[in-house]
A and B are shown apart, each in its own frame.
Chain A
Amino acid sequence: MEEESNVTSSPSTPVQRLRHRKRSSTEVLDGDKVSASPLLVNDRNKYKSFMVRTYSTLWMIAGFVMVVYMGHLYITAMVLVIQIFMAKELFNLLRKAPEDKCLPGIKQLNWHFFFTAMLFVYGRILSQRLANTVTADQFLYRLVSGLIKYHMAICYFLYIIGFMWFILTLKKKMYKYQFGQYAWTHMILIVVFTQSSFTVANIFEGIFWFLLPASLIIINDIFAYIFGFFFGRTPLIKLSPKKTWEGFIGASVTTIISAFVLANVLGRFPWLTCPRQDLSTGWLQCDADPLFKPEPFTLPAWIPGWFPWKEMEVLPVQWHALCLGLFASIIAPFGGFFASGFKRAFKIKDFGDSIPGHGGITDRMDCQMVMAVFAYIYLQSFIVSQSVSVDKILDQILTNLSFEEQQALFTRLGQMIGNS
């Protein structure tokens, strides 16, 4: 979805690379006409940069595949590490060194809020699974249940301590900077933790629901780059002059098709489709969800006669994958536009420089964040509810509640549905 300048970057980089145009002024001179110079099609050094980008992309994808193979807990650890680096990048972004020297402890305050947010968000998402992991040990179970019960109070208490610490360290003439940093910290933590907690929630519903959205974003980026490389002519949006409509549309079509195909491929592995109910790391067994059972599908009559197959085996999940692909190609790129606009607004080139040739982690993750949130909400609204059955809920009621609670639930349910 982008045509990139002629510097070392991988295809999964959205607009951020734009900045590099300033760095490599020599290449700009090589361009023919001034108006056509941003487009990659006219750039002669593009083949060299293409090789460099492909190389780094392959390394990232390989590392990713290995972590997926190792399992849910390792993927979660990877997500956590990524978000720690992302938060560090973003914390440092709008920090000003001279003010910081007068304010000892401001970094610690940021990390205090980071730790509180992590405890709050992961506590909520993983509490049920943590409880399931420690059921064997009576003492641990009671400890964990107690922690879960008072989880909100503990996190609030930690937050209030940070709040009071902030107020007590307000220094004359530094008020505006400190309040700005405080607000910035909150925005960062909200952005980073919402999407990473949703990512982790998706992982535990089944690696499929993490792998498919992430792959679609990568495919979208790669094919937008490729289509722009060969066919890009019409600029897409003023915010990102290197993106073109040809790249956008080509990538959209490819993404939706690959969503359909990829869902079929990924849906055949229980390792990817089974939800994990606790925090173990071993092999997974589960009853295949009806979503992943193949169903015969007759092609509609308007498909031309030369098409070899009249019937296909379709996993119902492939239709959901089409929706995910549609979102990944049309809406998720706005995450990239947002990051682009943000960097122009604050006149920064990249969010960081952790990944050589790519910029920072946030540059990699901007579209992924928007996609992860959508995937979680889609999953919770349209998919999880279908797999919840009367028997499953009855099971939960009988195992999780005490007898009095079961009776209370029974009474309230009766009132709700209108029986006496």
Chain B
Amino acid sequence: MHKENTGDAPSAHTPRVRHHRKRNTDVVAGAGKPNGSHLLVNDSSKYKSFLVRAYSTVWMIGGFALIVYLGHLYITAMVVVIQIFMARELFNLLRKAHEDKQLPGFRLLNWHFFFTAMLFVYGRILSQRLVNTVTPDKVLYRLVTSLIKYHMAICYSLYISGFVWFILTLKKKMYKYQFSQYAWTHMILIVVFTQSSFTVANIFEGIFWFLLPASLIVINDIFAYICGFFFGRTPLIKLSPKKTWEGFIGASITTMISAFLLADIMGRFLWLTCPREDLSTGWLQCDPGPLFKQETHALPGWISNWLPWKEIYVLPVQWHALCLGLFASIIAPFGGFFASGFKRAFKVKDFGDSIPGHGGITDRMDCQMVMAVFAYIYHQSFVVPESLSVDKLLDQIITNLTLEEQQALFMKLGQVLQEKVIGS
């Protein structure tokens, strides 16, 4: 979705615009007309940068595939590591070294809030699965259920101690800086943790629901780059001068088609489609559910006349994948525009420099974040709506009843259900 004239991977968004245009003035001078100088189509050294970008992209995709192979817990670990780096990048972004020297312990406060947010968010998402992991052991089970019961109180106490700590360390003449940093910390943590917790929730519903949205974003980026590389003419949005309508539309079509096909391919692997009910790492067995069972659709008459197939086999999940693809191509790029505008606003070139040639982790993740949230909400609302109330009640049972009460409930419920079966 953009044309670039320096060494970046296709998954880099407009952020590259900022500093590379300024860095390679000779390249810009080498371009033809001033109007078309931004567009990659007119750039002569683009082939060299293309190779460099492709090389780094291949490495990133390779690492990613390896982790997916290793399983749910490792992917979650990867997500956690990514978000730690992202938080660190963002914390450092608007920090001013001069003021920081006068405020010892302020960085520590940021990490305190980070730890509290992590405990809160992952505690909520993974509580049910943690309980399932410690089921055999009674002592651990009681310990875990009481931790879950008091989870909110624990996180709140941690947050309030951070709040009190912040107020007690307010220094005269530094008030504005400290309050801005406080607000900035909250915004970062909200952005980072909402999407990463939703990502982890998706992972445990089935790696499919993490892999498909992430792949769609990567495909969208790559094909926007490629289409812009060859056909880009009309600028798309003032915020990102290197993006073009040709790249955008070409990428949208490609993304939707690949969503349909990818869902078919991925949906055939139990490893990807089974939800993980606990925190184990072994192999998964499950009944994948009606979404992943093939259905036959007879092709309408006018298609089947010139295609060799009379029917196609479609997994119902492929229709959901079309919606995901639509979102990934039309709305998710706004995450990139947002990051772009943000960097222009605060005159930052990149969010960081962790990935050589790409900028920081946040530059990589800006569209992924928007997509992860959408995928989670889509999944909860349209794919698995039924078990929500069951989950809520199970939550209540875990947090509010002791083990003996749970066993009593189990027996009573069993009796009632048996009576219903006999009576019906």
Contact = CB atoms under 8 A, between A and B. Distances in A.
Interface in B138-154: 138, 141, 149-150, 152-153
Contacts of A175: 341-342, 344-345
B390 A163 contact: no
B162 to A, nearest CB: 11
Interface of chain A, main secondary structure: helix
A149 B131 CA distance: 26
A341 B390 contact: no
A34 interface: no
B179 A345 contact: yes
Contact of A160 (B178, B331, B389, B416): B331
Interface residues of B, number: 71
Contacts of A346: 176, 179
Interface stretch (B49-57, B97-105, B258-266, B394-402): B394-402
Contacts of A150: 381
Nearest to A410: B413
A409 B344 contact: no
B153 A382 contact: yes
B413 A397 contact: yes
B382 A419 contact: no
Given A407-B417, A412-B390, A417 B406 contact: yes
A105 B394 CA distance: 45
A385 B400 contact: yes
Given A152-B381, A164-B334, A377 B156 contact: yes
Contact of A331 (B131, B160, B393): B160
A394 interface: yes
A172 interface: yes
A416 B396 CA distance: 13
Interface string A347-385: 000000000000000000000000001100110111011
B387 interface: yes
Contacts of A36: none
Contacts of A384: 400
Given A150-B381, A186-B187, A342-B179, A156 B412 contact: no
B417 A377 contact: no
Interface residues of A, number: 65
Nearest to B338: A167
B135 interface: yes
A168 to B, nearest CB: 8
Contact of A239 (B150, B167, B400, B414): B167
A408 interface: yes
Contacts, number: 166
Interface in A148-181: 149-150, 152-153, 156, 160, 163-164, 167, 170, 172, 175-176, 178-179
Given A164-B334, A175-B341, A413 B403 contact: no
Contacts of A342: 175, 179
A308 B164 CA distance: 42
Contacts of A64: none
Interface in A376-417: 377-378, 380-382, 384-385, 388-390, 393-394, 396-398, 400-401, 403, 405-410, 412-417
Contacts of B338: 163, 167
B167 A341 contact: yes
A187 B135 contact: no
Given A409-B390, A409-B393, A179 B346 contact: yes
A337 interface: yes
A152 B388 CA distance: 12
B153 to A, nearest CB: 4
B179 A408 contact: no
A167 B390 contact: no
B308 to A, nearest CB: 40
Contacts of A417: 135, 403, 406-407, 410
Given A342-B179, A400-B389, A393 B153 contact: no
Contacts of B381: 149-150, 152-153
Contacts of A410: 410, 413-414, 417
Contacts of B373: 156
A398 B156 CA distance: 33
Nearest to B387: A408
A217 to B, nearest CB: 16
Contacts of A405: 386-387, 389-390
B405 interface: yes
A33 interface: no
Contacts of B163: 334, 338
Contacts of B410: 410, 413-414, 417, 419
Contacts of B387: 405, 408
B186 interface: yes
B413 A394 contact: yes
Contacts of B390: 401, 405, 408-409, 412
Interface of A: 149-150, 152-153, 156, 160, 163-164, 167, 170, 172, 175-176, 178-179, 183-184, 186-187, 190, 238-239, 331, 334, 337-338, 341-342, 344-346, 373-374, 377-378, 380-382, 384-385, 388-390, 393-394, 396-398, 400-401, 403, 405-410, 412-419
Given A390-B412, A410-B414, 15 more contacts: A163-B338, A167-B334, A170-B341, A172-B238, A183-B187, A341-B167, A341-B179, A377-B153, A377-B156, A394-B409, A400-B393, A401-B393, A405-B386, A406-B417, A413-B410
Sorted nearest first, the 10 A-B pairs with minimum C-beta distance are: A175-B345, A345-B175, A153-B381, A381-B153, A388-B400, A385-B400, A345-B176, A176-B345, A179-B345, A345-B179
